[in-house]
Chain A
């Protein structure tokens, strides 16, 4: 599988490290922390997920279809968070 890094272009998945659901936000409220750490939507279909491009050290938010592994939009996690 090849993933497009916005900085480096399309690269082999060996250059990346996976880190799961990118729709979660670390909660400010303590009672929500367990859900944040453990509960997942785990969708069949499009999934927004974190991948670290270990070469340029950029955490990406990648949209990918869990049925087909087709790729959708890829964004830089840092920019997305600051923007939101």
Chain B
């Protein structure tokens, strides 16, 4: 049943009895034209756009857990396209444009809320860097505004302006940035892809790739062998393990990133803010919880949990920026496993094995990229050519030196 006010009302008077499963639970077929490994945001978005825009035959998404059990369901829900470097800005802007039309496209309210993303700066050097970035955005046709300290104060008057260790000097604002209800993205793409005939197979872990004379022919799974014309890897967090099945190493380390939510409160802040003098960002969900994030824990980890020093670090920044948070209480913390790439930017590329494709290295920024990543990965899988806005997100850029290093910290993933 199509989602609409009418269908909601109809079900209200019929005991919610007319709804059907959001997506089917099929058994895997023996062969698909495209098998996507990973039923998270990127894998499901890829399936949706493949089915919608490209005529590639039968498609399956294989998910080792439940749909959305990876990072799409454990992030801080921020979307934005405020990137500096060629290779990133246009890509993330495509993604933001897709967010803007997403709900009508997939007939699922993911609560895309363009409430603005404000990056604060605390030194002249930081402001110069933001100006450079904002101008790169404007040259790319992306919205960006520079705020001085007074404008920031008018925007978020409750921050610490008068007694701060690192005074706020201004900020870079992208009004079109914002937040999205993360789980709804996974479910919405799953439902939309399913409607277009994609088989979404949960609890089906890929244990190996079958490669014959340099050509991938299918995947070994916990539900048996599944033949495939093309295999697309979208298992961020575990990309290195998937690549190892093809005998490859990647320029990626897996790290844990913690995130936090407070108890539900009446509205306190209606934008997304990043602190520039520490690792901290905050927004408030529609349910009322303040959502916080900070730095990665900083050591290789596949455990979906972190440690106390980062918890303290994030909360110290929270108090430094917004001293009213002292009596707000932390409700839950969790950890996600990130593909931290060596230059902090992602990879959407073909692999050296024929018919094998890779979508990886999203660091802690994969959520906002979900639509763009799916769109460009679908394009690559269907056409064997990179999409124009993703043509720098290549595997060989490390060897060639064409790095996309927004932070300028080099080949040390825990610093990105």
Cβ of B414 and Cβ of A67 under 8 Å apart?
no
- For the complex, is A38 an interface residue (Cβ under 8 Å from B)? yes
- For the complex, is A13 an interface residue (Cβ under 8 Å from B)? yes
Cβ of B300 and Cβ of A20 under 8 Å apart?
yes
Cβ < 8 Å to B, chain A residues 22-61: 34-35, 37-44, 47, 49
- For the complex, is A82 an interface residue (Cβ under 8 Å from B)? no
Interface residues contributed by chain A, number (CB under 8 Å): 25
Contact A67/B307 with A20-B413, A44-B238 known, Cβ cut-off 8 Å: no
Cβ of A42 and Cβ of B398 under 8 Å apart?
no
Cβ of B240 and Cβ of A40 under 8 Å apart?
yes
Q: How many A-B residue pairs have CB under 8 A?
A: 67
Interface residue tally of chain B, by bracket? 20 to 34
Cβ of A20 and Cβ of B414 under 8 Å apart?
yes
Cβ of B250 and Cβ of A14 under 8 Å apart?
no
Q: How far is the CA of A67 from the CA of B237 in the complex (A)?
A: 12
Q: How far is the CA of A43 from the CA of B254 in the complex (A)?
A: 9
- For the complex, is A19 an interface residue (Cβ under 8 Å from B)? yes
Residue in A18, A39, A47 whose beta carbon sits within 8 Å of that of B251 in the complex: A39
Contacts of A37 in B (CB 8 A): 342, 398, 411
Q: How far is the CA of A76 from the CA of B114 in the complex (A)?
A: 51
User: Contact residues of B with A, CB < 8 Å?
Assistant: 238, 240-241, 244, 249-254, 298-303, 307, 309, 342, 398-399, 411-414
Closest 3 interchain pairs by CB?
A42-B240, A38-B251, A38-B398
User: Contact residues of A with B, CB < 8 Å?
Assistant: 1, 12-14, 18-21, 34-35, 37-44, 47, 49, 64, 66-69
13 of the cross-chain contacts (CB-CB < 8 Å) are A18-B299, A38-B411, A40-B240, A40-B251, A40-B252, A41-B244, A41-B249, A42-B249, A42-B250, A42-B253, A47-B300, A67-B302, A69-B303
